[in-house]
Every structure is written in structure tokens, then in C-alpha cells.
Amino acid sequence: MLAIVPALAHAEAIPLPGVKLVAEGCSPCRDGDRVRVVLHTFRPGVSIGEAEIRATVRAPSGQVFRLLPISGTAVTLPAGPSSVVILDRTVSDELPGIYLIEAGLLDVATGATIGRDVLGVVRE
């Protein structure tokens, strides 16, 4: 099981309770650039225990381009702010356009969506 790392710096930007994707790498991106996307969460009160991360990348055509390796991973979701890197790679031969990174957290026990967000990253 993966534990999400506490991160206080981004708590103000996230609706309570909430999930927010943040691009910390390139956008727009070109060959050789590094694209890095972080999933930030904020849970008021006590820890809710385990949650499952679901994450994909949609190509400019709308088709699922890549199921991210972290997808399906169970994490311990503590109270307060936390974050986990869901995408960190070098841009290579992808087609130009807007790629949509979609990520969410599901309650492991019920399957209910705790929160989700979508982020567009431009590939020139």
C-alpha cells in the first residue's frame, strides 16, 4: 500500500474536501520536456483510511491514450493536505494537441467517488 505524502503548500487552492491536479512540469510541452502532474488532496477532520487512485490520459482524439501505472493503487488518505505524483515522464513522440489527465479517488469499501479532477496539458 502507498501512503500519500503530506503537503501543506497547496491546501488553500483545493475546495474542501477536494482533489486537484497540478502540472509541475511543462505545458505547453515539446520533445525532450518533462511533464509532471501531482494529485493534491485535502480531507478535513480525521483520516478516511484507504482510497483507490484512478488515473488516465486522454489523447486529443478523446480516446484513452494511457492508463497511468498508479491507477488501481490503494493509498492511505490522511486528514489534512497530501499529495502524490501520478505522471512524471519525458515527452517524446506524442501527437500535438491537448491531452487530458483525469484522476480521482474512490472509497475502497464502497466504490464511491471521493473526488476527481481533469487537467489539460498542451503538446506542441
pLDDT the model gives residue 17: 64
Task: Give the tens place of pLDDT for each residue, 49-80.
Answer: 788 999 999 999 988 977 899 999 998 888 88
Cβ-based neighbours of 46, under 8 Å, separated by 6 or more:
79
Domain architecture of the chain: domains with CATH = 2-123 (2.60.40.10)
Cβ-based neighbours of 93, under 8 Å, separated by 6 or more:
31
Give backbone dihedrals phi and psi of 94, rounded to 5 degrees, phi first: -70, 150
pLDDT the model gives residue 81: 87
Task: Give the tens place of pLDDT for each residue, 85-116.
Answer: 999 999 998 899 999 999 999 988 889 898 89
What is the average pLDDT score of the chain? 84
pLDDT the model gives residue 93: 85
